[in-house]
Amino acid sequence: MDIKTFRNYGHRFVDWIADFYENIESYPVLSPLKPGEVKKKLPLSPPIEGEEMGRIFDDFQKIILPGVTHWQHPSFFAYFPANSSMPSVLAEMLTASLGAQCMVWQTSPAGTELEEVVMEWLRKMIGLPEGFTGVIQDTASTATLCALLCARERSTGFSVNSRGFYPDKEAQRLAVYTSTEAHSSIEKGVKIAGFGRENLRFIPVDEEFRMIPEELEKAIEKDRAEGVTPCCVIAALGTTSSLALDPLRAIGEITRREGVWLHVDAAMAGSAAILPEKRYIMDGAELCDSFVFNPHKWLFTNFDCSAFFVRDPGHLVRTFSINPEYLKTSVDMEVKNFRDWGIQLGRRFRALKLWFVIRSFGVKGLQEKIREHIRIAEEFAGWVREDPRFELVAPVSLNLVCFRYNPAGSKLSEDELERINRELLEELNLSGKLFLTHTKLAGKYTLRLCTGQTSTSLKHVREAWERIRTARAISAM
């Protein structure tokens, strides 16, 4: 492609993106396609001759776009959001254009130094104390894996890195603790880091789905009595199913006393800590060894961008650093080389989009958006509470409402309730007008509505409630 064609299509694409955002509500939120429908429209072999950009773009619109679920649609209430914003998209265009690798300082000094600065901004914004240092990871799953690897190395005097695990030796059995409501990335990390799934302890939760610190204490005690070394606790600041907030202070006091690594998974809820009135959620966070939250979930920065903070980066460097001759530079003693702060060598210039987003919104603008998301979730919860045909299944701590159809005084069994709520969910999602997902809480099939999409407003939540309350699946009940 020559520069003239690039310029031409570049302008067209930006216009297309602007139209897309302007008209996003006309797209179905959940792609209506059936499995295999995209693939059958694509050739089995790659083109031998290069194709004209106009044809490729046409196919993008005809074949690809119908197969996209629209995460940027304001009526996307499913899972947790992966929200974005125009400043972030613009910055991402520049990142792609620069194509810079941010693995060591020399490979892009601005990449490293901007990352240091924006992570320090974020640390202050969420109220983590001075002394924590940040690095951007691709996802919370990766950050949690890094934390597990550091915890493993600290517990074993960095010997697993050098000698490997010796599972036959009881002294090398290391246990990890998390709640029964914790995210699946923790179990995955435990498997990858070599702890063995049978050494992952799922600690029971209370009636609000928060880890019970006394149960954690008991599990640690039991392991010690059996010769297993307690290594790492992963607390959830906002569980995936219900945004339950584990009691960080009580957990942190235990981990401090026991000399166990504490990692906090605040993937979704961490963004709420930028609000002074929600800062209480961070109570006890100063006791952790590492902390992760995702600007790519709820801070208007397009995927991927995960903010990972550690109390002592020395653990990261000792765990991950390998120093081949071809990567050495003359300034290594003076600078941070982020390749030593995580798993990957090559690193995208993710700091740029965070910088654009924080500067463009300002802290105040970000706070206003998040505050509004929480306010409209509370409003929605109020409608659920007032309608005798529905119930809230978990407390509403921030911007997630867990609810289900369950008429007051009805004698419906759990199986019947599950069937009706499944049908309700399917009907809503098939409409293309909104997208919700489900979970199970204490065995109850539950619908989740999360208000974190960048352009979601009260109007969208009101429309969603109208559709839910008048759905066919429950109209005959």
**What tokens appear for 93 in the block?**
């265009």
Cα 63 to chain centroid, rounded? 29
CA atoms of 444 and 241, how far apart (whole Å) = 12
Q: Please choose, from the candidates 297, 314, 318, the residue with its C-alpha nearest in 3D space to the C-alpha of residue 306.
A: 297
CA atoms of 103 and 113, how far apart (whole Å) = 12
- Which residues contact residue 10 at a Cβ distance below 8 angstroms, ignoring those fewer than 6 apart? none
Q: How far is the CB of 14 from ligand PLP (least distance, A)?
A: 28
The smaller minimum CB distance to ligand PLP, of residues 268 and 474, is found at 268
- Per-residue binder mask for ligand PLP (CB under 6 A), 79-98, x = binder: -x------------------
108 binds ligand PLP (CB under 6 A): no
- Per-residue binder mask for ligand PLP (CB under 6 A), 25-64, x = binder: ----------------------------------------
Instruction: Report strand pairing: 261-265 vs 290-293.
Output: parallel
115 binds ligand PLP (CB under 6 A): no
Q: How far is the CB of 143 from ligand PLP (least distance, A)?
A: 8
At residue 411, the 3 state secondary structure works out as coil
**What tokens appear for 360 in the block?**
């463009």
Q: Please choose, from the candidates 94, 92, 124, the residue with its C-alpha nearest in 3D space to the C-alpha of residue 305.
A: 92
Of residues 154, 183, 336, 347, which one binds ligand PLP by CB under 6 A? 183
Q: Which stretch binds ligand PLP (CB under 6 A): 12-20, 163-171, 232-240, 351-359?
A: 232-240
302 binds ligand PLP (CB under 6 A): no
240 binds ligand PLP (CB under 6 A): yes
The smaller minimum CB distance to ligand PLP, of residues 393 and 474, is found at 393
Q: What is the CA radius of gyration of the chain?
A: 24
CA quadruple 209, 215, 220, 226: dihedral sign: negative
Q: How far is the CB of 399 from ligand PLP (least distance, A)?
A: 13
**What tokens appear for 402 in the block?**
């867990």
Of residues 267, 352, 354, 468, which one binds ligand PLP by CB under 6 A? 267
CA atoms of 234 and 138, how far apart (whole Å) = 19
268 binds ligand PLP (CB under 6 A): yes
270 neighbors 292 (Cβ within 8 angstroms):
yes
At residue 207, the 3 state secondary structure works out as coil
The smaller minimum CB distance to ligand PLP, of residues 9 and 303, is found at 303
Residue type, 267: A
The smaller minimum CB distance to ligand PLP, of residues 104 and 149, is found at 149
The smaller minimum CB distance to ligand PLP, of residues 287 and 292, is found at 292
Residues 133-152 that bind ligand PLP (CB under 6 A): 139-141
Q: How far is the CB of 79 from ligand PLP (least distance, A)?
A: 6
* Contacts with ligand PLP, residue ranges (CB under 6 A): 80, 139-141, 183, 185, 236, 238, 240, 265, 267-268, 294, 306
